[in-house]
Chain A
């Protein structure tokens, strides 16, 4: 049960981060190597905003939840306009460009924020004991073993991620904006021929992708501390999730994030975290060999 909740928290944060990466690749065909840095930016901005707001952790957290994705998103939009647009979204050039962006963001944060890991206080953090069943002399009985507990905040992270994922799903499948995004993803040239301002769509998508990573980071930062090197893990895991789930597939991304997050949580609790990483990497290899388009991806020519 504990492993389950830990796994779900992992999966929740991972699915948001990976969805950002998947959206950017799906619509723009840009492999954003700097995606993890937008995650890191989100966490650092969350710390900064929470410190600015000061005493009340709940207020600081809410401010961070609003400010971090907006700031990270704006930085992404500016990057799109300054860099990606000028190299014509060329698939290879954008990889090099986003590697550059990765170091620029990382080192700027190191210079301003410093090398220390900084905690952000959770807005609420009640300990919730988890009941267990025990066969006593008097028959089956519920009891609350010592040490088996989670916090209300972790449950909140799971709920918040589900809400955000539902929102994105709703936008993608039920609104005009979603229709425009999907059409651009399928055929950007024809989209242009039907009046869709593809360059603006790209800027928006790159911004949304970064904002999703930032939101995920704000959610996790009361559990994991903000640090300038924290972007590497989410980047790697997002790639794993996106490869398994199929690029550009929302459903696949969420399911793959669940598989990776849960197995990570469960295997880490019962065995070792290293085994969890080995399993994830093995799964990626299997998927690449047997279903290169991902579990839920569609084959494209």
Chain B
């Protein structure tokens, strides 16, 4: 469904990704793991068109998208929950959601559905995003991306700095979306969070593919976790 092949990309002269391959299918959860600075976030930004790859292809539903104008990529149905949430901090909860809805011209039905998933946000619609707690902010970032009714969702370290009850909520959301057939790429550092949702795990080291394993393989032999992530 979404496929990166042979991606070389970076910031100016500083190349971060080298011949990187990743792919995710409908209803599949691909977890991307690697140490800090391995290039996980760069890979997500390359998918969103925020970084133009020097070479290599990003394909979405068999269509090459790496040459498209960046603002048209989310309109295809790729939802993005950036690292550190990146909410529009001075806008209200309602306005953040409105931006998500505008992306693919979704209406009230989508809004209601999303607010049903995160009832806490419904109570805080008029509140500014930067006054929410960390967990609520993550819910809002997730809600904003779900307003696109995406067929692929990118989550970049959604559980970073959250308390366990919030991590559980994120996990549940990921599994629900998977059940609805959404393809999910989850960048995650924590082994337990990965084990709970992943179908496959791609390990990245220094911007290169180190190894890719199914979760069954990893249950049998968890050594890659230690080898590539160092936990």
- Interface of A with B (CB < 8 Å)? 176, 179-180, 182-183, 186-187, 189-198, 298
Contact = CB atoms under 8 A, between A and B. Distances in A.
Interface string B90-101: 110001001110
B131 interface: no
23 contacts: A179-B95, A180-B102, A182-B90, A182-B91, A183-B91, A186-B91, A187-B88, A187-B89, A189-B86, A192-B50, A192-B70, A192-B71, A193-B50, A193-B74, A193-B82, A194-B100, A194-B102, A194-B148, A195-B74, A195-B104, A196-B71, A198-B71, A298-B90
Nearest to A186: B88
Given A179-B95, A195-B102, A195-B104, A190 B90 contact: no
Contacts of A176: 98, 102
Contact of A182 (B70, B74, B88): B88
Contacts of A182: 88, 90-91, 95
Q: Which 8 A-B pairs have the closest CB atoms?
A: A195-B103, A190-B86, A197-B71, A195-B74, A186-B88, A192-B70, A193-B80, A194-B103
A197 B69 contact: yes
Contacts of B103: 194-195
Nearest to B81: A193
A215 B130 CA distance: 36
Contacts of B80: 193-194
A interface, by DSSP: helix, strand, loop or mixed?
A: helix
B64 interface: no
A187 B71 CA distance: 14
Interface of B: 48-50, 69-75, 80, 82, 86, 88-91, 95, 98-100, 102-104, 144, 148
A186 B98 contact: no
Contact of A195 (B71, B89, B91, B98): B71
A190 B75 contact: no
Contacts of B72: 195
Given A179-B99, A192-B50, A198-B71, A186 B104 contact: no
Contact of A179 (B48, B69, B89, B98): B98
A192 B99 CA distance: 11
Nearest to B78: A193
A208 B102 CA distance: 23
Contacts of A180: 99, 102
Contacts of A190: 82, 86, 88
A191 B88 CA distance: 9
Contacts of B50: 189, 192-193
A295 to B, nearest CB: 17
Contacts of B148: 194
Contacts of A191: 88, 99
A183 B99 contact: yes
A193 B48 contact: yes
A113 to B, nearest CB: 39
A186 B73 CA distance: 20
A194 B70 CA distance: 9
Contacts of B49: 192
Contacts of A186: 88-91
Contacts of A183: 88, 91, 95, 99
A182 B95 CA distance: 10
A179 B92 CA distance: 11
A24 to B, nearest CB: 18
A194 B82 CA distance: 11
B117 to A, nearest CB: 18
Contact of A187 (B48, B70, B86, B104): B86
Contacts of A196: 71, 99
Nearest to A248: B90
Most buried by A among B69, B70, B74: B70
Task: Among B49, B73, B74, B88, find the residue whose CB has the most chain A CB atoms closer than 10 A.
Answer: B88
A54 B17 CA distance: 65
A17 B144 CA distance: 36
A180 B103 CA distance: 11
